[in-house]
């Protein structure tokens, strides 16, 4: 086994979820990541944790979803299992990233709704989402499998304490702030309130790799338009140049250059899917290329991302409304050129450089 796989498992268990003796942990992986599952079981056993191993198969999902159809999908019996576990580890990967490309967007949205009771429980636990560097995701990124392995494991094997300190400077700006304005070129100019919301510092606990700070907008406060000029890969389809117009927090216009129906279906999942649930700022400059994989892309330096749909509970302050939805779809804006982030009227990032960095041009 590649020694980096054992290192990956140790980082997940010891850093990301900080497993304790006697804790129950659900491990979910695709079959291509069986090596990482083996290494995880080893580390869990060393600590005295108790593992349950769930299979994650896009092929099996596709077969079930097509057979059941949008009207036939019911919530499976994970909830009873998840209520009794302390920690969830989910490893992404597969043999073909377009495996669900012939499941209709309506069926995919119905599946998201059916799974919401499970994801609600899962999100209330300690959890970690990570990536196994398999051939299909290398292909999606246009990379050789070996180069992709280097990319993934280099991004994961990192000094997360230093990254946390770097990001904390942006948390300290955003956490007390009220008004955010994001401008990029002549296609994005959007404002929102984050007054009373909490900004979280992602240093690879819930996402491995980590590398962003994120918060939740006040749901009704979002105004303006945004062009997500970095491609979105969702449900096995590429959505290019998604464009959203917000009024009173709600998407009132939307379009995309490719696969607009995927975007439409996401927005129609439920009421909350037409409002923003997250604003995130990528701060991990070791992720130096776009790989069509949100787990990495949204952490890149020089980007911001916004998610329509569900807001994470720990970003919503007391006495603030939480945007609830079965959907949570992140989309990215390139901030490297002709772009600024303003916080309460002050520019805190220009062309990707933060106010606390030497390269910042005031």
- Can residue 66 be called a binding residue for a copy of itself (CB under 8 A)? yes
CA distance linking residue 235 with residue 217, whole number of Å: 25
Q: How many residues of this chain interact with a copy of itself, rule: CB under 8 A?
A: 47
Torsion of CA 108, 297, 44, 42, to 10 degrees: 100
- If the CB atoms of residues 119 and 258 are measured against a copy of itself, the closer one turns out to be 119
Question: According to CB under 8 A, which residues from 83 to 112 bind a copy of itself?
Answer: 83-85
Q: DSSP letter at 16?
A: I
Q: Is 37 in the site for a copy of itself (CB under 8 A)?
A: yes
Q: Does 31 bind a copy of itself (CB under 8 A)?
A: yes
DSSP track, 269-314: S-GGGGSEEEEEEE-BTT--S--S-HHHHTTBTTEEEEEEEPPPGG
Nearer to a copy of itself, 10 or 250 (CB): 10
- Enter the DSSP assignment of 95: S
Does 240 help bind a copy of itself (rule: CB under 8 A)?
no
Question: Sheet of 328-334: strands edge to edge?
Answer: 200-202, 212-215, 276-282, 303-309, 328-334
Q: Is 24 in the site for a copy of itself (CB under 8 A)?
A: yes
For the bound state, the minimum distance from the C-beta of residue 211 to a copy of itself, rounded and expressed in Å, comes to 29
Alpha-carbon gap, residue 141 to 92, rounded angstroms: 15
By CB under 8 A, residue 74 contacts a copy of itself: yes
Provide the 3-class DSSP secondary structure of residue 319. coil
**Is 34 one of the binding residues for a copy of itself (CB under 8 A)?**
yes
Give every CB contact of residue 80 below 8 A, 6+ residues apart in sequence.
none
Three-state DSSP at 211 gives coil
Nearer to a copy of itself, 41 or 320 (CB): 41
| 3-state SS assignment for residue 172 | helix
Report the residue from 5, 13, 19, 65 that binds a copy of itself according to the rule CB under 8 A. Answer: 65
236 binds a copy of itself, rule: CB under 8 A: no
Binding mask 250-289 toward a copy of itself (x if CB under 8 A, else -) reads: ----------------------------------------
Q: Which of 10, 52, 143, 251 binds a copy of itself (CB under 8 A)?
A: 52
Is the CB of 60 or the CB of 147 nearer to a copy of itself?
60
Q: Which residues pair with 192 in a beta bridge?
A: 180
Q: What sign for the dihedral angle of Cα 93, 261, 299, 193?
A: negative
First to last CA, the chain: 50
Task: Choose between 45 and 313: whose C-beta lies nearer to a copy of itself.
Answer: 45
Q: Tell me: does residue 42 bind a copy of itself (CB under 8 A).
A: yes
Asked if 59 interacts with a copy of itself (CB under 8 A), we say: yes
Closest separation in Å from C-beta 170 to a copy of itself:
38
Q: How far is the CB of 151 from a copy of itself (least distance, A)?
A: 25
Task: Give the CB-side neighbour count of residue 153, counting CA atoms within 13 A.
Answer: 18
Task: Tell me the two tokens of residue 132.
Answer: 């196994």
Query: Least Å distance between CB 359 and a copy of itself?
Result: 46
Report which DSSP code applies to 21.
T
Q: Which residues bind a copy of itself (CB under 8 A)?
A: 22, 24, 26-27, 29, 31, 34, 37-46, 48, 50-57, 59-68, 72, 74-78, 80-81, 83-85
């Amino acid at each position: 086994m590649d020694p980096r796989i054992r290192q990956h498992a140790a980082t997940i268990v010891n850093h990301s979820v900080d497993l304790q003796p006697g804790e129950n942990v659900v491990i979910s992986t695709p079959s291509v990541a069986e090596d990482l599952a083996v290494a995880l079981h080893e580390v869990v056993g060393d600590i005295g944790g108790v593992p349950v191993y769930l299979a994650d198969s896009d092929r099996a999902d596709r077969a079930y979803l097509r057979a059941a159809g949008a009207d036939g999908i019911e919530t499976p019996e994970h909830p009873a299992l998840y209520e009794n576990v302390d920690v969830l580890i989910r490893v992404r990967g597969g043999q073909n990233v377009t495996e669900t490309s012939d499941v209709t967007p309506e069926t995919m949205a119905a599946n998201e709704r059916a799974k919401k009771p499970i994801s609600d429980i899962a999100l209330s636990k300690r959890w970690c989402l990570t990536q196994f560097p398999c051939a299909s995701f290398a292909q999606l990124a246009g990379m050789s499998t070996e180069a992709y392995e280097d990319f993934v494991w280099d991004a994961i094997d990192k000094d997360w304490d230093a990254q946390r300190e770097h990001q904390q400077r942006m948390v300290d700006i955003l956490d007390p702030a009220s008004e955010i304005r994001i401008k990029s070129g002549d296609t994005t100019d959007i404002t929102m309130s984050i007054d009373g919301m909490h900004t979280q510092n992602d240093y690879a606990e819930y996402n491995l790799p980590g590398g962003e700070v994120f918060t939740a907008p006040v749901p009704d406060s979002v105004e303006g338009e945004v062009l997500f000029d970095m491609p979105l890969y969702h449900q096995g389809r590429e959505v290019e140049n998604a464009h959203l117009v917000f009024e009173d927090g709600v998407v009132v216009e939307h379009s995309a250059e490719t696969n607009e129906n995927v975007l439409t279906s996401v927005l129609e999942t439920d009421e909350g899917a037409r409002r923003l649930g997250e604003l995130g700022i990528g701060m991990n400059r070791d992720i130096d290329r776009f790989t069509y994989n949100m787990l990495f892309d949204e952490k890149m330096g020089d980007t911001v991302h916004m998610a329509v749909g569900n807001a994470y509970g720990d970003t919503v302050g007391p006495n603030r409304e939480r945007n609830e939805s079965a959907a949570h779809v992140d989309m990215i804006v390139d901030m490297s050129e002709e772009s600024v982030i303003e916080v309460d009227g002050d520019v805190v990032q220009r062309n990707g450089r933060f106010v606390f960095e030497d390269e910042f041009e005031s």
